[in-house]
Structure 1
Amino acid sequence: MLSSDSDADAVCRHFDVSRESCARLHCYVSELKKWQRRINLVGPGTLDRVWARHVADGLQVIPHLPRDADCLVDFGSGSGVPGLVVAAVVNSGRVVLVESSSKKVAFLRHVARTCGIRVEVRQARVEALDPATVCTGAKRIVLLARALAPLTRLLTLAAPWFAMGAEALWHKGQDFDKELKEATRYWDLDVDILPSEIEGGGVLLHVRSAKRRAQTQA
């Protein structure tokens, strides 16, 4: 597990990130700090721990991605964690960043161009997207999200995606058990709870399938 004071070298070593990918992550961090002066991308109190708190949080998704995943969709990408960070390291398949804020979209597109990270950025609300047109031809879709919404809301947003066979890797904080208990009142879930690599007691929820119970609404 990485400590809160882990630096860039420690994070890149821990996740076995190549020199080229680590250089892209350094570029991302540099741009994040510049843009943070103008728009709120991450909590100001976490900026001095950006590698341990944010970059590592994105990278920890990668070991759990299915090898044949060919379209990753990051709901509410915001600062680029996890989607942009993952794309800086994983160069196969499509990575689609979905963000409704025009300022954050500008940031994501700027970083992608400046740092040479191959992503597609869509300015849209998640619920307005047609999954069939976002990952056209994809055989295995994985949904990503961090600090976007409670689990019941995420499941509602992702329902059309699950209906076409997608799965999800979602960051959740230390109170994830309460969210999971609430969600299972309305949803039948096949979910794995993966301990976080980051200090703080959070988890990754690997939702393999989700089906809303017919008699309830959430």
Structure 2
Amino acid sequence: MDQAEKVVIVTGASRGIGAGIVQRLLAKGYGVVACSRTIATTGQPNLAEVAGDISQPETASLVVRTAKQRFGRVDTLVNNVGAFLPKPFTEYTESEFATLAQVNLGGFFHVTQRAIVEMLNRGSGHIVNMTSSLLAEQPLKSLPAAMTAITKGGLNAVTRSLAIEYADKGIRVNAVAPGAIRTPMHAIDTHAALATLHPMGRIGEIEEIADAVLYLEGAAFVTGEILHVDGGAHAGRW
């Protein structure tokens, strides 16, 4: 299949990593449905923007329906939406727990279910989950974030589970686990400190995460992979 015919849904697409992934996909000729709570309509011919909360079932249905109506299919889903809230475990409120679960897990669950149904109808597809290296796999004493780790670590587990469940149905499921990336989430004055969290001594760039997504998209014999883009942080202590 020519990549120009492929259609990719990207959640959390209005800024940062999500926006970077959208632009790379468009540059490669993909049709893209971009979803975020607030997102501008640009009128680009290969891009459909959907404003809404992807953790809600009705938004998930709208996003998949938009892909089918605008482009006729769903080939790939990039679950990029996510929330990060670092604090000591005993200080999390019930409301914060509910929000993290709703965004990080609900934002995956509803749209992924609906996308996989479409992929099963076509006999092919690809899911890419955006997880976390520093929080889910290399907890840091200096950065307590247990509730974020639960939800992002859960995405690592479900990536492997779904990869096995659907491997014989033509659907691949992978994940990208970033380290600290230069996005609007991190103030400029924190970059030097964040760089020390990676053995390579710098923070990552949005383009490097987009590169990882594009690699997985083209890697037809790769499924169940957690691709770390974290300057070596997942490899151990240093």
Give TM-score, length-normalised by structure 2. Answer: 0.41
Which structure shows the higher strand fraction?
1
